[in-house]
Amino acid sequence: MRLLEVVGVSKWFGGLSAVNNCSLSVEKGEVHALIGPNGAGKTTLISLISGLLFPEKGKILFQGRDVTHLPDWRRASLGIGRTFQIVNLFPSWTILENLVLAIMARDGHGFRFWKPVVSERHLFQRAEALASFLGLEERLEVPVATLPHGERRTVEIAMALAISPRLLLLDEPLAGLSPQESVRVVQAIRKVAKETTVLLVEHDMEAVFQLAHRVTVMAYGTILLTGSPPEVQASKEVQQVYLGEHEPFA
Partner 1 sequence: MRPTNKPHGFDQPRSLGEPRAWVLGLFLGVLALAYPLVMGAVDQPYFITFASRVFVFALAATSLNLILGYGGMVSFGHAAFVGTGAYATAILAQAGWVSAWANWPLALGVCALLASVIGVLSLRTRGLYFIMITLAFAQMLYYLAVSLRVYGGEDGMPVRRTLLPFGLELRDEIVLYYTSLLVLALALLLTWRLVNARFGWILRASSENPTRAASLGLPVFYYQLVAFVLAGTMGGMAGILLANLNGWVSPSFLSWHLSGQLMMMVILGGVARLWGGVLGAVAYLFLETLLSEFTIHWQLFLGGLLLLAVLAVKKGLTGLWGKERG
The answer to whether residue 122 forms part of the interface with partner 1 (CB under 8 A) is: no
For 201, half-sphere exposure in the C-beta direction (CA atoms, 13 angstrom radius) is: 24
Position among 5, 12, 85, 105 found at the interface with partner 1 (CB under 8 A): 105
> Nearer Cβ to partner 1, position 99 or 208?
99
The answer to whether residue 111 forms part of the interface with partner 1 (CB under 8 A) is: yes
The answer to whether residue 97 forms part of the interface with partner 1 (CB under 8 A) is: yes
With contact defined as beta carbons under 8 Å apart, do 180 and 209 qualify? no
Q: Of 136, 94, 131, 97, nearest to 117 (Cα)?
A: 97
136's enclosing H/E stretch is none
The answer to whether residue 54 forms part of the interface with partner 1 (CB under 8 A) is: no
The answer to whether residue 132 forms part of the interface with partner 1 (CB under 8 A) is: no
Position among 72, 128, 181, 247 found at the interface with partner 1 (CB under 8 A): 72
> Nearer Cβ to partner 1, position 104 or 241?
104
Which residues are within 8 A (CB) of 61 and not within 5 positions of it... i.e. 6 or more apart? 2, 4, 5, 6, 7, 67
124's enclosing H/E stretch is helix 121-133
> Nearer Cβ to partner 1, position 105 or 175?
105
Position among 14, 16, 122, 141 found at the interface with partner 1 (CB under 8 A): 141
Interface pattern 17-46 for partner 1 (x via CB under 8 A)? ------------------------------
Q: Of 41, 49, 42, 48, nearest to 17 (Cα)?
A: 41
The answer to whether residue 95 forms part of the interface with partner 1 (CB under 8 A) is: no
Position among 8, 73, 195, 230 found at the interface with partner 1 (CB under 8 A): 73
Whole-number Cα distances in Å, 20 to 70, 163, 178:
21, 31, 34
Give the Cβ contact number of residue 118 at 10 Å.
Answer: 9
Position among 9, 102, 134, 224 found at the interface with partner 1 (CB under 8 A): 102
The end-to-end CA distance of the chain, in Å, is 35
Site residues for partner 1 per CB under 8 A: 50, 52, 71-74, 76-77, 81-82, 84, 88-94, 97, 100-102, 104-106, 108-120, 141, 143, 145, 159-160, 162-163
